[in-house]
Structure 1
Amino acid sequence: MEMDSAAFEELVIDELDRLPDEMVDGLDNVVFVVEDRPEDGSLDLLGLYDGLALTERTQYGTGELPDRIVVYREPHLAACESDDELRDEVHTTLVHEIAHFYGIDDRQLHELGWA
């Protein structure tokens, strides 16, 4: 599947806007970033939460760098064959990485059917 960076970023923003308010309202000091690939160049990783989960924070105040949720464009395109499939996969990736922000680990995500 082919899609340029700008169109993919728009799709990510669109899917982020479609998420339930109760899921995104608690996202404090979090930025969403679209990158082409993970640093290792692989196509295996669709997204990444880079930060400290709420459940692991003892103190959080001003001055901290924002947590990052990264969505990787090329792995998504390699994994999907249609626009609908791509949209669904981006949605799932966003939910998955936001869950990590809230302290939900991969095991719990599998139990909930989100991974």
Structure 2
Amino acid sequence: MSGQDAYGPAPDAAAIEGIARDTIARLPAVFAAHLGDVLLLIEEEADAETLAALGLDHPLDLTGLYHGRPIGEKSSMDSGAMPDSIHLYRQAILAEWVETGVRLDDLVRHVTIHEIGHHFGLSDDDMHALEDAVVD
């Protein structure tokens, strides 16, 4: 009997998106106010071009990615730029979930906040404090 049979089907993209959106909804208002135009995308895995740009060899090595410029680096001259986006990679998240035994909601919350932190140009310590602020 495989792990999937023993525990049911793996969480789908909608389940991961639900956890990520719940995390965003729990952010302090000062952060949430600046995320309205940021796209949240749940993808199966990072594409080869993204992996190559980051110097990664395997799609399971990347659980999330922020595409865009941190708020502090934005300029009024940025018109025409693609919208900022947060990409969560389902297969890599599921692999880390199985490997580490961390609760799925905790893992997705961590990855989501880490990528949001890049949007705001936060340090790792600031990201951890933000994560603590949204924990149940």
TM-score normalised over the length of structure 2: 0.67
101, 105, 122: which is aligned to 1:87?
A: 105
Q: CA deviation at 1:7?
A: 2.4
Contact 2:117 2:127 in 1 (8 A): no
Same amino acid, percent of matched pairs = 32
Deviations 1:9-34 (A, max 9, x none): 22322232233322221225211111
Gaps of 5+ in 2: 5-9, 49-57, 129-136
User: How many residues are aligned here?
Assistant: 111
Gaps of 5+ in 1: none
TM-score normalised over the length of structure 1: 0.77
Q: CA deviation at 1:62?
A: 5.8
Who is 1:66 aligned against? 83
Contact 1:15 1:87 in 2 (8 A): no
Higher helix share: 2
C-alpha distance in 2 between matches for 1:94 and 1:58? 25
56, 71, 78: which is aligned to 1:54?
A: 71
CA spacing shift, 1:83–1:22, aligned 2, 3 Å: farther
C-alpha distance in 2 between matches for 1:83 and 1:20? 28
CA spacing shift, 1:60–1:28, aligned 2, 3 Å: farther
Query: Greater Rg, structure 1 or structure 2?
Result: 2
28, 42, 59: which is aligned to 1:34?
A: 42
RMSD (Å) for aligned C-alpha atoms? 2.7
Who is 1:100 aligned against? 118
C-alpha distance in 2 between matches for 1:5 and 1:89? 14
User: Residues 11-30 of structure 1: matches in 2 within 5 Å?
Assistant: 11-30=19-38
SS in 2 for 1:48: strand
